[in-house]
Amino acid sequence: MPPPKTCAEDELAHVTAGMGAGLDAMLVHSLLRTHSYLSPFIDADLRRQKLTSAQFNTLLLLRSAGADGLRMHDVGERLVVTKSNVTGLIDRLERQGLVARGPCRDRRATVVRLTDAGEALVDRAVPRHAQLLAELGAALTDDQKRTLIRLLTRLRRELRRRKERS
């Protein structure tokens, strides 16, 4: 009689049945499943602060840019979203008083800066969010986290390289 399947094996049963037990398929499926488990926790935490993950990432990006802000184009590139998505995202944040648009030295561009209200929201949101992430990551040791970060970074670099070639 074969040994009982582990939970991880049960989660991958339909992948292995359809594609075989190839490591590549199992890896990608595992990444996607992990994301599907993480997202609801992260989204719920941000919703309590009346933010989406895209808004939160935009606010963090603008805070790191400092008083100079960022051109709309640069926001889009760093968040990897389309121009229309950036415009809608900044429109919503501006209506909430969290960011402000202003002129750029290059008059063809617009700069976005964090407002005082946006700064205050980030200051409140970051510690709560960091606590949640610490709770979610508690299943791994620090060495395991560093290894996973290094491996995922390597995978992202390869995916970016392929995207740039296509």
Q: Of the candidates 41, 40, 43, 38, which has an alpha carbon nearest to the alpha carbon of residue 54? A: 43
Domains and CATH numbers, the chain: 23-165 (1.10.10.10)
Residue pair 97/115 in contact by the 8 Å Cβ criterion: yes
Q: Among 11-20, 82-91, 118-127, 150-159, which is the least confidently predicted range? A: 11-20
Q: What is the pLDDT of residue 154?
A: 96
Range with the largest mean pLDDT of 8-12, 21-25, 108-112, 140-144 = 140-144
**pTM of the prediction?**
0.78
Percent of the chain with pLDDT strictly greater than 70: 87
Mean pLDDT of the chain: 88
Listed in order, strand segments (DSSP E) in the chain are 70-71, 99-103, 110-114
Whether residue 132 contacts residue 144, with contact meaning beta carbons closer than 8 Å, is answered with no
Q: How far is residue 27's CA from residue 33's CA, in Å, rounded to a whole number?
A: 10
pLDDT of residue 10: 61
Q: Residue 81 has what pLDDT?
A: 75
Beta bridge partners of 103: 110
Task: Express each pLDDT in 5-41 by its tens digit.
Answer: 555 556 656 656 665 667 888 888 889 999 999 999 9
The CA dihedral of 14, 18, 20, 21, to the nearest 10 degrees, is -20
